[in-house]
Amino acid sequence: MTAVGRAIVEAVLLGAVGGLISVRVLLRRLPFFTLAMTHATFPGVVLAAIAGVNLYLGSGVFGVLVVLGVLALSRRPEQGTTTAIGIVLSAGFALGVILLSARDGFAKDLTAYTVGQILTVGTGDLVAVSVVGVIVVVLVTTAGRRLTFRAFDPDGHAAAGYSPAGIDLALLLAVEAVIIVAVPAVGAILAVAVLVAPAAIARLWARDIPMMTAVAVATGAGCGLAGVLVSARYDVAAGGSITVVTGGLFAVSLAATAAWNAVGRRGGSRLARVAPGSTGGERRFRET
């Protein structure tokens, strides 16, 4: 496989996996947390590179620490949490920069770890994305109902006897795993685009969670493919291209759905409701 071929496979796989987990990130209202986690993961990636250990192993160990820290923060009262996240975010990034600046070739490495170098991915990177993809699929299929319950009604979820810490830990570990496998493709900092934007786009078009999930996976994969093609065609950074394509699609979706709903308010919109009116007496329950 050529470098571009591998890059395309990597971008599409990562986009799909990111799209799948992004739905859970958005429903659980974790985009800002995720942004902080990407920045806090960055020094772990740098440490792994400096220590000369496997990038996934090194940043994985560091990532678990990040998750435990984030989980501890989220247990505190709501007030002050955003402040703490903001500090963790900038401090994590700064720590990575300091660690990197102690090495030669600082600027080149900084670029690779923050915004990615997808044309250099190898077969091992593709395997890593695939393995994390399987983990995310297993999580979403076995714990999807609980994740939805927890996101929708935290008190009701706890009252039903479920452990909030258990499901939160599972979700945050999955998010961290996706961040880590996103590093070679889009870098630690741009990973947040892969982990949030597909669901944000899907949320505008979809009426329920299964549809939102399908749209997010397709959007993530599509943006990955388009980003790499744009990057190869115009010889610009792939991580940046993928992120700009995703961001552009979000802006277009926002404008299009706003226009659609403005028209639909007169004609009967499909986007604002779960179903276009229910038939009397019919009782069907779809799974989430």
Partner 1 sequence: MNTPTDPALELDEVTVSYGPAPALENIGGVVGPGEAVALIGPNGAGKSTLIKAILGLVPLVSGRITVLGRTPAQARREVAYVPQADTLDPEFPISVGQVVLMGRYRRIGPLRRPRAADRRAAGDALEQVGLADRARHRFGTLSGGQRQRVLLARAIAAEPGLLLLDEPFNGVDAVSEQALLNAVAVLKGQGTAVVVSTHDLALAHLACEEVCLLNRRQYGFGPTRLTLTPDRLRATYGGHALELRGDRVIVAHS
Contact positions toward partner 1, by CB under 8 A?
27, 142-143, 145-146, 148-149, 151-153, 155-156, 158-161, 203, 206-209, 212, 272-275, 278, 280-288
CB of 202 to partner 1, least distance (A): 10
CB of 98 to partner 1, least distance (A): 40
CA distances from 232 to 14, 239, 246, 248 (A): 18, 12, 17, 18
Produce one character per residue of 192-209: b if its CB has 16 or more CB atoms within 10 Å, e if not: bbbbbbbbbbbbbbbeeb
CB of 281 to partner 1, least distance (A): 6
Q: Cα–Cα distance between 74 and 85 in angstroms, integer?
A: 9
Q: Cα–Cα distance between 39 and 69 in angstroms, integer?
A: 13
CB of 164 to partner 1, least distance (A): 10
Residue 206 or 244: the one with the smaller Cβ distance to partner 1 is 206
115, two tokens: 């915004």
CA distances from 173 to 63, 150, 267, 279 (A): 8, 16, 45, 42
CB of 65 to partner 1, least distance (A): 28
242, two tokens: 């993928």
CA distances from 190 to 55, 60, 74, 84, 244 (A): 17, 18, 23, 21, 10
CB of 68 to partner 1, least distance (A): 23
Residue 52 or 281: the one with the smaller Cβ distance to partner 1 is 281
Residue 122 or 276: the one with the smaller Cβ distance to partner 1 is 276
Residue 171 or 226: the one with the smaller Cβ distance to partner 1 is 171
Residue 14 or 147: the one with the smaller Cβ distance to partner 1 is 147
Q: Count the Cβ atoms, other than its own, within 10 Å of residue 11.
A: 32
Q: Count the Cβ atoms, other than its own, within 10 Å of residue 58.
A: 20
101, two tokens: 């600046």
CA distances from 41 to 64, 75, 158, 180, 217 (A): 9, 20, 30, 8, 24
CB of 136 to partner 1, least distance (A): 16
Residue 21 or 143: the one with the smaller Cβ distance to partner 1 is 143
Residue 115 or 143: the one with the smaller Cβ distance to partner 1 is 143
16, two tokens: 């799909």
